C-alpha cells in the first residue's frame, strides 16, 4: 500500500430535486473524476441522493476558528436583524 496519500476532496450531495447540495464528508482521489466515482461508492450506497459535487479541499477558503468571536458574536445582540417586529396581517397564509 502506498504511503503517499491522494488529495482530499469534499463531497456534497443533493438529496432530492429542489433541495440544495449539502456537505456530507470527504474522499481521497487522484483527480476530480475519481473523486466523483469514489464519492458515489462511499456516500450514496443507501439512496442518499440524486446529484453529487466534489471540490478539492484545498480550493475551499475557510474562516479561521480564532476569528470566531470577532466574526460571529457581534450578530448576537442585534435582534432587530430578525424580522420579528412586524405584525403579520391575518390575510397572509403560509408564514
Partner 1 sequence: MSALFDAVLRLADSNLILGQRLSEWCAKGPQMEEDVALTNVALDLIGHANLLLGYAAEIEGKGQDADQLAFLRDGDKFHNLLLVEQPNGDYAHTIARQLFFDAWANAWYAQMAQSSDQRLAEIAARALKETRYHWRHSTQWALRLGDGTEESHQRMQAAIDALWMFTGELFADDEVDVEMAEQGIMPLPSSLAPQWNTAISAVLEEATLSMPGDQWMQSGGKQGRHTEHLGYILAEMQFLPRAYPGAAW
- Chain contacts with partner 1 (rule: CB under 8 A): 1-2, 6, 27-30, 33-34, 37-38, 41-42, 45
What does the DSSP 8-state code read for residue 88? P
CB atoms within 10 A of CB 54: 21
Q: Report the nearest approach of partner 1 to the CB of residue 92 (Å).
A: 47
- Report helix, strand or coil for 39: helix
Q: Which of residues 27 and 52 has its CB atom nearest to partner 1 in the complex?
A: 27
Of 23 and 68, the one with the shorter C-beta distance to partner 1 is: 23
Q: Are 9 and 55 within 8 A, CB to CB?
A: yes
**Would you say 20 or 23 has its CB closer to partner 1?**
23
Amino acid at each position: 500500500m502506498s504511503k503517499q496519500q491522494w488529495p482530499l476532496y469534499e463531497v456534497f450531495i443533493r438529496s432530492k430535486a429542489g433541495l440544495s447540495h449539502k456537505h456530507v464528508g470527504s474522499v481521497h482521489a487522484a483527480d476530480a473524476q475519481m473523486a466523483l466515482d469514489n464519492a458515489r461508492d462511499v456516500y450514496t450506497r443507501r439512496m442518499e441522493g440524486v446529484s453529487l459535487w466534489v471540490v478539492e479541499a484545498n480550493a475551499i477558503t475557510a474562516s479561521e476558528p480564532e476569528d470566531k468571536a470577532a466574526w460571529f458574536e457581534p450578530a448576537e445582540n442585534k435582534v432587530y436583524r430578525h424580522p420579528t417586529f412586524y405584525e403579520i396581517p391575518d390575510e397572509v397564509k403560509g408564514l
